[in-house]
Structure 1
Amino acid sequence: MYSFLTTENWADYELVDSGNFEKLERFGQYYVARPEPQAIWDKHLPEQEWQRLANAVFTRDKGSQEKGQWKLKKGMPEQWFINYTYNGLKLRFRLGLSSFKHVGLFPEQDANWKFIYDTTKKLKTPQPKVLNMFAYTGAATLAAKAAGADVTHLDSIKQVNFWARDNMEASNLDNVRWIVEDAMKYARREVKRGNKYNGIILDPPSYGRGPNGEKWQLEDELNEMIKLCREMLDGTDYFLLINLYSMGFSAMVLDNLMRGTFGEMVQNEELGELYLLDGGKRKLPLGTFFRFSSVGR
């Protein structure tokens, strides 16, 4: 089933407007304006309204596509917390203004967090084992943990794992296994050990580096990573979710990879796109996903 999924019913988040390669978002009580390469249309709100609302504005450094500076209005903190609730799930996230325009959370992942929480609860295995790779600040990790899973959280950046731990503590959760390592190295080792997981979550970047300089290039590495996941995924009681934010990568790429690798394990599948709906009713595309499970929803 091909789906277009968006973030819904989240009191602490809103995509206020988008356009002219920017987006204006509300996280809790604070408004943040930052670049968005997909927003090629015109803004819905006038520029004066953006300037009035935005507590923090990100501007790229000259000659850089990634790094930049935040300009803050008086009273705008560099870190703050927001809440997230869904069907008994209660999480709390620490946000912060990074030099790469990020704030520590990708709100379009709301639909995937709900899938992880609901599906983990339906697995038959008591305290199912879930592996979250490229796990960032841990929202998906915490959704699985809150549903009763034994979770391994893996990211190659130590500071990001510390951030995820802060989110765990703020959400009144505990006992997550934290690993700072290159994802491919870890997956190969787990396959050699014969270790199995009931759930695997992946949100790989287009490119990146491991803690020891290991190179990750999505188009070069993804096929092998998916094959390793096939070896790690339990054969009877399972789910797998992969999300890609890479302009130019169709969801059909994931469809081909998943069906070719997992075969008859692909049940109750769903693939498609994640988007955010702004105040002008424009749909901002923010990634493709493929997910399947042995238990449905």
Structure 2
Amino acid sequence: MYSFLTTENWADYELVDSGNFEKLERFGEYYVARPEPQAIWDKHLSEQEWQRLANAVFTRDKGSQEKGQWKLKKGMPEQWYINYKYNDLKLRFRLGLSSFKHVGLFPEQDSNWKFIYDNTRKLKAKPPKVLNMFAYTGAATLAAKAAGADVTHLDSVKQVNFWARDNMEASGLDNVRWIVEDAMKYARREVKRGNTYNGIILDPPAYGRGPNGEKWQLEEELNELIKLCHQMLDKTDYFLVINLYSLGFSALILDNLMRLTFGEQIKNEELGEIYLHDRGERKLPLGTFFRFTSVGR
């Protein structure tokens, strides 16, 4: 089933406006403006309104597609916290202004956090084992942990794992297994050891580097990674979520890869796009996804 998933009913987050290759978001009480390459339409609000609302504005360095600088209004902190609630799930995230425009959270993943929380609770294994690869600051990790899982959190950047640990402690959780390693190396080793997981979460970047300089290129590595995940995923009691944010990467690519690899193990599947909607009813696409589960809905 092809689906469009969006973030809704989150008191501490809102996509306020988008357009002219930018987006204006509210995280708690603070408004942040930063580049967004897919927002090719006109803005809903005026430039004057953007300037009035934005507490922090990111501008790329000359000649750089990634790095840049934040300009802060008086009273805007470089770090702050916001809350997240879904049914019995209550999380707290520390946000910060990085030199790569990120703030430490991808709010469009809200629908996947809910899927992870709900399906982890339904798994028969007690506790279920969940692996979160490319785990960043750990929102998906914490959703699985709060649902009772034994969670392995894997990211190649040590500082990001420290950030995820801060989020865990702020959320009143503990006992996550933290691993700083290249994802492909870890997956190959787990397959050799015969280790399996009831849940696997994947949110790989378009490109990146491992802790020892290992190169990650999505289109070159994804096929093998999915095959490794097939070998790591429990065959009777399971869920898997994969999300891709890469310009021009069709959901049909995911559909082909997943069906060719997992075959009849795919049950209760969803395929489609994740987006955010702003006050002007513009829909900002922010990735493709494929997810399935043995435990039903």
**TM-score (ref. length: structure 2):** 1.00
Q: Report the 3-state secondary structure (helix = DSSP H, G, I; strand = E; otherwise coil) of the residue aligned with 2:284.
A: strand
Q: Report the 3-state secondary structure (helix = DSSP H, G, I; strand = E; otherwise coil) of the residue aligned with 1:33.
A: strand
Q: Report the 3-state secondary structure (helix = DSSP H, G, I; strand = E; otherwise coil) of the residue aligned with 2:25.
A: strand
- Equivalents in 2 of 1:248, 1:49: separation in Å? 32
Instruction: Give the number of aligned pairs.
Output: 297
- Equivalents in 2 of 1:122, 1:166: separation in Å? 27
1:34 aligns with 2:24: no
- Equivalents in 2 of 1:103, 1:116: separation in Å? 22
- Equivalents in 2 of 1:25, 1:218: separation in Å? 28
Q: Report the 3-state secondary structure (helix = DSSP H, G, I; strand = E; otherwise coil) of the residue aligned with 1:281.
A: coil
1:252 aligns with 2:248: no
- Equivalents in 1 of 2:18, 2:229: separation in Å? 36
Match of residue 174 from structure 1: 174
1:99 aligns with 2:130: no
Q: Report the 3-state secondary structure (helix = DSSP H, G, I; strand = E; otherwise coil) of the residue aligned with 2:24.
A: strand
- Give the letter aligned to residue 209 of structure 1: R
Match of residue 209 from structure 2: 209
- Equivalents in 2 of 1:227, 1:23: separation in Å? 36
Q: Report the 3-state secondary structure (helix = DSSP H, G, I; strand = E; otherwise coil) of the residue aligned with 1:91.
A: strand
Computed over aligned residues only, the root mean square deviation of the Cα atoms, in angstroms, reads 0.3
- Give the letter aligned to residue 296 of structure 2: G
- Equivalents in 1 of 2:50, 2:235: separation in Å? 51
1:155 aligns with 2:155: yes
Q: Compute the displacement of 1:96 (Å).
A: 0.1
Q: Gapped runs of 5+ residues in structure 2?
A: none
Match of residue 43 from structure 2: 43
Q: Compute the displacement of 1:296 (Å).
A: 1.7
Q: Compute the displacement of 1:161 (Å).
A: 0.1
Q: Compute the displacement of 1:120 (Å).
A: 0.4
Q: Compute the displacement of 1:164 (Å).
A: 0.2
1:75 aligns with 2:75: yes
**TM-score (ref. length: structure 1):** 1.00
Match of residue 165 from structure 2: 165
Percent same amino acid among aligned pairs? 89
Any residues of structure 2 matched to 1:52-131 within 5 Å, and which?
Answer: 52-131=52-131
Q: Gapped runs of 5+ residues in structure 1?
A: none
- Cα displacement string for residues 244-279 of structure 1 (whole angstroms, at most 9, x for unaligned residues): 000111111111001100010000000100000001
Q: Report the 3-state secondary structure (helix = DSSP H, G, I; strand = E; otherwise coil) of the residue aligned with 1:83.
A: strand
- Equivalents in 1 of 2:143, 2:83: separation in Å? 13
